[in-house]
């Protein structure tokens, strides 16, 4: 099943979220509240829409055990992205470690999502 067109909007939301995140980080501390909140809302809507689109793809899709593991790991990392984002918004001083974890988690989500798409075909 070709599900790429159905996941086009979540991918676009992911790119917009990443763009806003990069923009917010380039502006430095204190974060611009408007841009930071837009970043958070687009990220949340992207995650929700992605889950809805995946559920709608095909009700008869058989998932392998590895796919379940990858979905679970991806979900944990996405939760980590939200957690590190929240930590960065709460803390007044810049935390390079938290920012690095946030950036690494972003790359890991991209890798895992690509791996899931590869396994799904």
What pLDDT is attached to residue 52?
87
What span, in angstroms and rounded, lies between the C-alpha atoms of 85 and 25? 11
Q: Give the number of other Cβ atoms within 10 Å of residue 115's Cβ.
A: 15
Q: Does residue 109 contact residue 81 with C-beta atoms inside 8 Å?
A: yes
Task: For the chain, 121 residues long, give each residue's pLDDT as a single digit of tens.
Answer: 455 677 788 888 888 998 888 888 888 777 788 888 899 999 999 999 988 887 777 667 777 888 889 989 999 999 999 999 889 888 767 778 998 999 999 999 989 988 887 877 6
Domain boundaries, given as residue ranges, for the chain: 5-120
- How big is the chain, counted in residues? 121
Q: What is the separation of C-alpha 121 from the centre of its chain, rounded to a whole number of angstroms? A: 21
Cα separation of 59 and 71, whole Å? 16
């Amino acid at each position: 099943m070709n599900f790429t067109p159905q996941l086009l909007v979540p991918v676009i939301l992911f790119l917009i979220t990443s763009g806003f995140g990069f923009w917010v980080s380039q502006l430095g501390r204190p974060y611009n509240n408007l841009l930071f909140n837009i970043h958070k809302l687009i990220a949340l809507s992207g995650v929700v829409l992605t889950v809805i689109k995946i559920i709608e793809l095909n009700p008869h899709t058989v998932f392998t055990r590895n796919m379940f593991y990858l979905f679970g790991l991806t979900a944990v990392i996405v939760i980590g992205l939200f957690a590190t984002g929240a930590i960065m918004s709460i803390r007044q001083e810049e935390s390079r470690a938290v920012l690095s974890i946030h950036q690494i988690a972003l790359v890991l989500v991209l890798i895992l999502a690509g791996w899931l798409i590869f396994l799904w075909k």
